[in-house]
Structure 1
Amino acid sequence: MKQVHIKVALVGNPNAGKSTLFNALTGLRQKTGNFPGVTVEKKSGTFRLSGSEGQPDTAVTVVDLPGTYSIYPKSKDETVVMDILANPKHPDYPDVVIIVADASNLQRNLLLFTEVSDLGVPSILALNMLDVASSMNLTVNAVQLAMQLNVPVIRINARTGEGISTLKEAVKQTLEKREKPALQYFYEPKGNEVELIEEVRELYHLDNDYVALQYVCQHDNFSFLEQPVRAKLDTLIEKYGFDENHFLASETVARYEKIKPIVSKSVKSQGITEQPYWTRKLDSILLHSVWGYVTFAFVLLVIFQAIFAWASYPMDMLDAVTAQTIEWTKEALPKGVLNDLITNGILAGIGGIIIFIPQIAILFALVSVLEESGYMARVMVIMDKLMRRFGLNGRSVVPLISGVACAVPAIMTTRSISSRYERLLTILVTPLMSCSARLPIYTILIALVVPSTKVFGFFNMQGLVLFGLYVLGLVGALGSAWLLSLFIPRKEPGYFMLEMPTYKWPRWGHVGFSMYESVKSFVLEAGKVIMAISIILWVLASYGPGDSMSNAEKRVISEMGTKPQEEIDVAVASARLENSYAGQFGHFIEPVIRPLGYDWKIGIALLASFAAREVFVGTMATIYSIGGDSEDVLTVKEKLLNEKNPDTGAAMFTPAVCYSLLMFYVFAMMCMSTIAVVYRETHGWKWPLIQLVYLMALAYASAFATYQLLS
């Protein structure tokens, strides 16, 4: 084989099994990135073709192009397909295209095949989901289909791996052909289209009629065409009176007229063709106007139970291992700055990264099971009508639900939303869902001001307030989505096109791979930013201007005299923190947070909360010189109850202050893990910064209004 860098592109309709085939071909030899020049995520991987006649094996790069029903895009992601296939100079332009087709709905899938084939790229048709076609009493003759389409047609089962070796052999044979077969156009130009095509071909040195037509139809989408070229094409369109909408309609009709006899010769029906019995039976329940929502609520209950209950054990274990590692490192290394940096900065940062791994793995495993089984599509359908009122769509349900556990994996699940506009809205509002990290804060603040009395003899008042905070987060998310939709321009129409798949048993290998990819993506990408911010926070809390920290330490030691060493150590830590750069920042922002009822000590806790919201309780414990276990909520509660306002002499943590803090933490964007993931998912700092500003403004305004009303 003469090609050194061989590229194969996978093209297909959504739910045709394209991504499953990609996983089967490449296994773990995958990487993610962006297509050149755009922020659309690219999945690529490699597989090997065996050499012939003593030749070495050849490495093949396979690129999984975004799923699309035709080459005419309806979303930003879909524009990538033609931006590559119409431009031989593109770095991802393929030597061979594999079109993955759903054999149970062959006529619709062949529309995309005929369009790609007309572009002149060597093509192979991979017939997938033959088992589904068989369950619908359909038999597909691959030999007959290959004779009519004049391309290799390979029967595969991407789920089980059947036919993969044959498909690789077909790729090898297609690459070895020295001459391309005579191109069989499935669409024949009519009228003035012929003259227009000839002029475009001559002007831009094209050797394919259909590519020339795409220059005319899609030149505004092609990133490789300069503005003068686009203007010239607009002139030609006007010269020949070319009507794009009329052309698209007539082309589609003409293609289906050619596809129908091909399908009728190749596909034979034996009896009634309809969805399998169990699919129809389950859909009568899961898509029901009442039972569908009841079933969904039960599924959510199971997911939340799994995330909160199952994840706690490995999270506790990872936390313990991190703590032991830090303690061992402290003892093993000489005392000093390097010791503190490694233990309190780097290792603590690593701990802040890996602590999320169990939740991410469990959540993505469960979401993968729901998707693999076909149930997730039903959830999106029944929820779409509600979500659209707020600028979202049915696919936004999964991230919002997942956000109750943790916003980090929840935002990562937005990748299933095809519309970039609706995906962006979902990312921007998902952090408003009250995550598990807020629970320690809610617990201690509610305990300070809400009595544990019974309401209606059954409900606990504290529990009702806690439930209200979660509901408030949901209302805030939906309301913010609606408000943001008024300001963020929609550059593309919103579609909720979803083909109902049949129910299937999950492929556990794919579930495991989904877990692996999600964890790897988080640790390697978001982890970099988390680590950097952790080190910055350590520096701010470990150092202060001049000798302020050492002087404060000496002053505390001299004042405490013969008191127990444990109390002295905690008091020293508190004094050093107050005089550190972080403490100085607390004093600096005190005038800003004073209208909320907060002092500089609470200001330090707010600053520390940017590392992770749950740090609030531990930080407050250190600031208020609490001895013993800083995670002991009762001890923290007692100390906070006794804390006095230095200006008034009254209690510092009044109901007004506590409710103000609750409102602040319901809405505030105080989680560097979330900021890091938003940065990765939006491919830049623009949207994370906008999200940070609007959520902090919302939190401040809510806390200010609450404090002023209650004080």
Structure 2
Amino acid sequence: MGLYSLIWALPVVFLIGVSVAVTEESGLKDRITDSLDGWMRNIGLNGRDLIPVLSGFGCNVVAVFQSRTCSSCTRKACVSMISFGSACSYQIGASLSIFGSGGRPWLFFPYMIVLVLVGAIHTRLWNKNHLEKSSPVYINRTYVQKPSWHSVSWRVRSVMKQFLVQAMPIFISICVVATLLEQIGVIAVVTHALTPILKIFNLPGDAAGGIIFSILRKDGLLVLNQNHGSFVSELSGGQLFVLVYLASTLTACLVTLRAVHKELGTTFAAQLTSRQLLTSVGSAFLIACFIRWIL
């Protein structure tokens, strides 16, 4: 997990940072903000919130910091969408790996669609009154221009600094803590306690370890790839889908929650966690029931 932080996540965060910087410096961001404002309002956001949500697909922590550009009326709703529906680079890589080990890599595409759709519903459900105080973000259209290399590189350096200085040390610390919990037997005890609950979702008790580690870090799901993925290869397609969905949405990872706490306070961080837990468990149960019904 420590090596994975650099091998996979660092390039993805860099590429997302370049993409966002180019759209901002070229004027495309403002055009997109104006054009999609009406659509974003359907889920409790506005056009200005789109860039942080897209940045979340690189790193949720960086996206939470970028949500400072959102209006005061929609920032909390934007962070809710990032936490639930923006699959970070760790989450994308881990889910691709698990689906591949289970022999069903094609499940990644419906997984991403369901993730974004349920994330939009979740955001609208818990933040439906926030936009009543805000005004539409329709402003004078900006000119599209050729981005400056100096400006783009400055923005990218800022994003990479946030990731390396603020997020990476915590990721590594979580690796150490997770190892200690495993060695002293805490993970085994919690896994045994969660086994009856997982039966509600038609999942075996051995899946609990992946879910627990996913709470610590989104790529914690990779622990299920032990023994060459023998466990996930024995799951049905429906079980595999529900497992990955539940593990990745049950809560934001600890690093993201720390950033939310730092930016928006303890009360909102607690609300975010409890609301996401309810939405994740409820939607995972409905998905599991639907899969059992069609099969």
Q: What's 2:50 paired with?
A: 397
Larger radius of gyration: 1
What is the aligned counterpart of 1:520 among 161, 165, 186?
Answer: 161
Contact 1:605/1:616 (8 A) holds in 2: yes
CA deviation profile, 1:448-493 (whole Å, cap 9, x unmatched)? 485xxxxxxxxxxx63x4322222122122212221223x656943
Matching of residues 59-458 of structure 1 within 5 Å:
348=2, 352=5, 356-417=9-70, 419-431=71-83, 432-436=85-89, 437-442=91-96, 444-445=98-99, 448=102
Distance in structure 2 (CA, Å) of the matches to 1:482 and 1:438: 24
CA deviation profile, 1:528-562 (whole Å, cap 9, x unmatched)? 5445544332321122xxxxxxxxxxxxxxxxxxx
Q: What's 1:466 paired with?
A: 108
Query: In 2 relative to 1, CA 534–692 (structure 1 residues): closer, same or farther, beyond 3 Å?
Result: farther
Matched, 1:501 2:105: no
Structure having the higher strand fraction is: 1
Q: What's 2:246 paired with?
A: 664
Q: What's 1:329 paired with?
A: none
Query: In 2 relative to 1, CA 494–444 (structure 1 residues): closer, same or farther, beyond 3 Å?
Result: same
Query: In 2 relative to 1, CA 502–445 (structure 1 residues): closer, same or farther, beyond 3 Å?
Result: closer
Matched, 1:620 2:258: no
What is the aligned counterpart of 2:212 among 607, 630, 633?
Answer: 607
Query: Structure 2: which amino acid aligns with 1:707?
Result: A
1:380 deviates by 0.9
Q: What's 1:685 paired with?
A: 266
Contact 1:526/1:676 (8 A) holds in 2: no
Distance in structure 2 (CA, Å) of the matches to 1:443 and 1:354: 14
Query: In 2 relative to 1, CA 676–382 (structure 1 residues): closer, same or farther, beyond 3 Å?
Result: same
Give the TM-score normalised by the residue count of structure 2: 0.82
Distance in structure 2 (CA, Å) of the matches to 1:677 and 1:361: 19
Structure 1 alignment gaps of length 5 or more: 1-318, 320-347, 451-461, 544-579, 627-634, 643-652
Distance in structure 2 (CA, Å) of the matches to 1:678 and 1:353: 23
Contact 2:42/2:124 (8 A) holds in 1: yes
Contact 2:101/2:233 (8 A) holds in 1: no
Matched, 1:538 2:179: yes
Structure 2 alignment gaps of length 5 or more: none
Query: In 2 relative to 1, CA 467–509 (structure 1 residues): closer, same or farther, beyond 3 Å?
Result: same
Q: What's 1:167 paired with?
A: none
Contact 1:353/1:530 (8 A) holds in 2: no
Helix, strand or coil at the partner of 2:34: helix
Q: What's 1:707 paired with?
A: 288
Distance in structure 2 (CA, Å) of the matches to 1:438 and 1:375: 26
CA deviation profile, 1:304-333 (whole Å, cap 9, x unmatched)? xxxxxxxxxxxxxxx9xxxxxxxxxxxxxx
1:402 deviates by 3.3
Helix, strand or coil at the partner of 2:127: helix
More deviation, 433-442/375-384:
433-442
Distance in structure 2 (CA, Å) of the matches to 1:681 and 1:468: 32
Distance in structure 2 (CA, Å) of the matches to 1:477 and 1:400: 11
Q: Using the aligned pairs only, state the percent identity.
A: 18
Query: Structure 2: which amino acid aligns with 1:360?
Result: V
Query: In 2 relative to 1, CA 513–445 (structure 1 residues): closer, same or farther, beyond 3 Å?
Result: closer
Distance in structure 1 (CA, Å) of the matches to 2:50 and 2:238: 34
Q: What's 1:697 paired with?
A: 278
Distance in structure 1 (CA, Å) of the matches to 2:57 and 2:161: 22
CA deviation profile, 1:197-226 (whole Å, cap 9, x unmatched)? xxxxxxxxxxxxxxxxxxxxxxxxxxxxxx
RMSD: 3.1
Query: In 2 relative to 1, CA 595–378 (structure 1 residues): closer, same or farther, beyond 3 Å?
Result: same
Query: Structure 2: which amino acid aligns with 1:689?
Result: A
Helix, strand or coil at the partner of 2:64: helix
Give the TM-score normalised by the residue count of structure 1: 0.37
Query: Structure 1: which amino acid aligns with 2:95?
Result: I
Query: Structure 1: which amino acid aligns with 2:249?
Result: F
Distance in structure 1 (CA, Å) of the matches to 2:113 and 2:132: 32
Query: Structure 1: which amino acid aligns with 2:190?
Result: F
Distance in structure 2 (CA, Å) of the matches to 1:689 and 1:523: 26
